[in-house]
Amino acid sequence: MNFLRGVISGQAAGPQPSGAETIHKLCDRVASSTLLEDRRDAVRALKSLSKKYRLEVGTQAMDHLVNILQTDRSDSEILGYALDTLYNILCNDEEEEQDAVTPISASGKPKNVSMPDETAQKQSDDLGAQFTEQFVQDPEHVTLLLALLEEFDFHVRWPGVKLLTALLKNQGVQVQGIILVSPMGVSRLMDLLADSREVIRNDGLLLLQQLTKSNAAIQKIVAFESAFERLLDIITEEGSSDGGIVVEDCLLLLLNLLKNNSSNQNFFKEGSYIQRMKPWFEIGDDNSGWSAQKVTNLHLMLQLVRVMVSPVNSPGATASCQKSMYQCGLLQQLCTILMATGVPADILTETINTVSEVIRGSQVNQDYFASVNAPSNPPRPAIVVLLMSMVNERQPFVLRCAVLYCFQCFLYKNQKGQGEIVATLLPSTIDANSISAGQLLCGGLFSPDSLSNWCAAVALAHSLQDNLTQKEQLLRVQLATSLGKPPVSLLQQCTNILSQGDKIVRRGSKVQTRVGLLMLLCTWINNCPIAVTHFLHNQENVPFLTAQISENLGEDERLVQGLCALLLGICIYYNDNSLENYTKEKLKQLIEKRIGKENFVEKLGFITKHELYSRAAQKPQPVFPSPEQMLFDHEFTKLVKELEGVITKAVHKSSEEEKKEEEVKKTLEQHDNIVTQYKELIREQDSQIRELKEQVESVESQNEQLQTSVSQQLSQIQQHKDQYNILKLKLGKESQSNGQVDVSQVNGLQTEELTQLREEVEELRKQHVLFQTQLGDKDALISTLRTETGGGSAGGSDDTELLSELEALRSQVQAQSAEINQMKTERQELLARAEAGSSDGVSSSVGSLEAAKMAEVESRLAAQSAEMERLKEEAKGLSESRAELEQQLAAATSTVAILQTERAKLQTEVQESKKEQDDLLMLLADQDQKIHSLKLKLKGLGEPVDDEDELDARDQTDEEEDEDED
């Protein structure tokens, strides 16, 4: 124990042992001591020596320290010492390294001996990597550290976090694999963010940064452990962009989780976390104070936005994020920063790049950006203000590149925006009192600054990208070169500047200006025969291009030669032969005589072989280390890749091959026309089928309406029946209670019942008329179906449903006749009862007054009997009408059956005709293919083969000769 105290206190008693001997004794004490206090003191002594004697402690004490972690879990103090010692061994921090390599003199003062920093750092890194590799050879060691992180004691948890961070820095991939397969390993590390002690939470952020580097699986697990929610909460608590280093660490971790991880990006968007980014960019009116930490934080926040809308992401995910950023107001907030004053240059540059990718390819966002105005007097569009910075050579280079990228993204897949830019150059829309985007581009195109020339040319080329209309419109632009001279077209002025070359004094690279103009011309005349004709109409252009290509120039001029070859090749490929002096064939002959085909193709290949070509082809954003290396545009590299092969083939093709290709194209066009005709026929038939289906649906709806009306009538009839039964019951009860009924009462009751019967018969007559009307409608429907079926229509109504409806009508008529018969019998019963009542009244009456009454009753009975006879005749007429209806229903049923058979026949005929047409088309296609293959074989064997047009002409000539002979 005295020995340990001497080591710790630094007091020398007698001869001092060497460092290795001291460490060896301490290791023995750790391994052999039974008292926890002795082991604790020994480990504390090793910790104090681990910085100075890193190699010795690491070599001798690592296993003992690991054993302490496994066995002495109950004592937090010794665990903390052991973890600190391991951290000192494995860590490669510069401060620890400097302490380790500084020699100590006998007096305890550091000697003035300095080692090269690079050598010391390399030795320290190698030592840390060796000890880390030794430590992680056993995965249980890492699992043990993860288990120790569950200890809440500060002296255990904090050293454990630092040790795991050092392990991840030195052997990241191997430690990541161990943590990934460890149960609840990532979850234990995520718990560090919820620790109330800021030191542990902040170091936990650093640990998670190292853990999530380049490991998509761990990134997904961390994201689904509510990492986004916790990190955004911490950023808000720390003050967002005004926060300190903790905000920076949170943003770096978010970048690790989202960059190149589509799953996490989708989770971030679906969790509505994009909306929580908007408050980050709310800046006040006073922008004078921008601390270095705030600049760093805001820079990382902008990078986070760009990660979500990066062009390398899938188009669907990018479009969805762009939509969310517009809807939540994030784009509007970024445009506010863009137009604000007092913003640092690097933040402004990154904001421009961010806005560029938020609007790239999104029509809604592009339209909003076009409507943004700068807070100037008078207000100017943001695009104009940015273009003023781009063509201003005093602005920083990175800012000018950012503005160019913003302009390119604004025009990407935005034909509306392209039209607006080109319209500012047309004579009818030029406003002399204001500066437009077109005027700024023309000014930059003809500026003495080569970088402005290149940027303006590329920006103007993007205004024409994949837009034939604007290419033709730009041909109308006229420029006034000097007083007293007629205006020249923009195309002619570009070629004039290109041909003058070295005669014009410029600041910067002359090659850069020529490359920019050549890229503009290639984009302009590409896939635009009218522009090609305008270009060739100038007699000086083709000789200039051939002279440039044929010369043997230096290394710098090779790129210009390649672009001149590309421009001449486009003139050949998209030539419509409207100029006699510069047809396709004549231009090919000119290349063969003046340049040589092989030499031309070789010069054309100089473009793709250039070292800056591959760099520009990697991503859309123009990022260059210096202005001199700004030569290629990303979209232009795509154009070169597309045209190089077709131009090479076009130059090597002979006139005969071109004629054959044209004939093949004509044949293909004829076949396409035939196919188009058949498609149109099929479309017409489909439309007819749709119309017939609509008619069937209308008939079905009418049928449903009729069925509804029939059901309503049936319910009314049932109500009448119920009322009649009630009246009959009332009569029965009254006759039983009064054995002798007064004649006047009987007559009154009989009169009421007869009136009711008359009304019911009248109702039945109306229903009979209604049924006749419905039957007439059905006959009209049947005649309509007969007409449609006879015309060869593809569809028809459902005949089975019509049959069922007719059967329903027949049953309804039969029910009506039964009801009429029932009414007849009931009427007869009432007559009998009335006669019985009258006889009883006569037997009981006495006197002349009663005789008079009796006579009156008899007369009334006679009248009612006549009425009854009339009702019988009407009932007989109804029965005859019912018989006629049944005959008509039978006739309609037979007609429907005939129509159904005819429709089935027509359908089978239509199907057979379609099948025959398809078979004929297949046979024609096979025959054409066989004829074509046989012609190719005959041509390969050297046999002359006549084309179809020549054979037709020859056959016609033979027929005319035969007619003349006859």
Residue 786 has pLDDT above 70, yes or no: no
Residue 400 has pLDDT above 80, yes or no: yes
Q: How confident is the model at residue 904 (pLDDT cuts 50, 70, 90)?
A: confident
- Of 852 and 10, the one with more pLDDT: 852
Q: What is the pLDDT of residue 833?
A: 61
- Of 551 and 530, the one with more pLDDT: 530
Q: How confident is the model at residue 360 (pLDDT cuts 50, 70, 90)?
A: very high
Q: How confident is the model at residue 741 (pLDDT cuts 50, 70, 90)?
A: very low
Residue 896 has pLDDT above 80, yes or no: no
Q: What is the pLDDT of residue 960?
A: 61
| Least confident residue range of 400-409, 798-807, 870-879, 911-920 | 798-807
Residue 959 has pLDDT above 70, yes or no: no
Residue 882 has pLDDT above 60, yes or no: yes
Helix axis angle for 54-71 and 76-90, nearest 10°, is 150
Q: How confident is the model at residue 747 (pLDDT cuts 50, 70, 90)?
A: very low
| Least confident residue range of 74-78, 208-212, 878-882 | 878-882
Contacts of 902 (CB under 8 A, 6+ apart): 789, 790
| Measured distance between the N- and C-terminal CA atoms of the chain, rounded to whole angstroms | 139
What is the full DSSP assignment across 356-379?
HHHHTT-HHHHHHHHH-EES-SS-
| Least confident residue range of 61-70, 406-415, 620-629, 954-963 | 954-963
Residue 730 has pLDDT above 60, yes or no: yes
Mean pLDDT of 380-392: 93
Q: What is the pLDDT of residue 716?
A: 84
Q: What is the pLDDT of residue 481?
A: 72
Greatest pairwise CA separation for the chain in angstroms: 173
Q: What is the pLDDT of residue 254?
A: 96
Report the chain's C-alpha Rg in angstroms. 50
Provide the percentage of residues in the chain whose pLDDT is more than 90.
Answer: 42
Residue 103 has pLDDT above 50, yes or no: no
Q: What is the pLDDT of residue 98?
A: 43
Q: What is the pLDDT of residue 657?
A: 64
Answer whether 0.85 is exceeded by the pTM. Answer: no
- Of 823 and 315, the one with more pLDDT: 315
Q: What is the pLDDT of residue 783?
A: 64
**Angle 107-113-116 from CA coordinates, rounded to 5°:** 150
Q: What is the pLDDT of residue 145?
A: 93
Residue 83 has pLDDT above 60, yes or no: yes
How far apart are the C-alpha atoms of 57 and 41, rounded to whole Å? Answer: 15
Residue 694 has pLDDT above 70, yes or no: yes
In which region does residue 276 sit, left (phi positive, over 0), alpha (psi from -120 to 50) or beta (all else)? alpha
Q: pLDDT by residue (tens digit) across 423-446?
A: 998 877 656 567 889 999 999 998
Give the residue from 336, 344, 246 showing the smallest Cα distance to 289: 344
Residue 49 has pLDDT above 70, yes or no: yes
Residue 69 has pLDDT above 70, yes or no: yes
Contacts of 322 (CB under 8 A, 6+ apart): 309, 358, 359, 360, 361, 362, 365
Alpha helices in 551-654 (DSSP H): 558-573, 584-594, 597-604, 606-609, 611-618, 634-652
- Of 407 and 16, the one with more pLDDT: 407
Q: How confident is the model at residue 732 (pLDDT cuts 50, 70, 90)?
A: confident
Give the mean pLDDT of the chain: 81
Mean pLDDT of 390-400: 93
Q: How confident is the model at residue 7 (pLDDT cuts 50, 70, 90)?
A: very low
* Beta bridge mates, 381: 373
Mean pLDDT of 280-296: 81
What CA dihedral angle connects 521, 526, 531 and 533, to 10 degrees? 110
| Least confident residue range of 180-189, 224-233, 882-891 | 882-891
- Of 135 and 286, the one with more pLDDT: 135
Give the residue from 512, 651, 636 showing the smallest Cα distance to 590: 651
Q: How confident is the model at residue 847 (pLDDT cuts 50, 70, 90)?
A: very low
Residue 745 has pLDDT above 60, yes or no: no
Helix/strand/coil percentages in the chain, nearest 5: 80, 0, 20
Q: What is the pLDDT of residue 117?
A: 58
Q: What is the pLDDT of residue 650?
A: 86
Mean pLDDT of 84-89: 93
Q: What is the pLDDT of residue 122?
A: 64
Sign of torsion over alpha carbons 440, 445, 450, 456: positive
Q: How confident is the model at residue 100 (pLDDT cuts 50, 70, 90)?
A: very low
Mean pLDDT of 620-644: 92
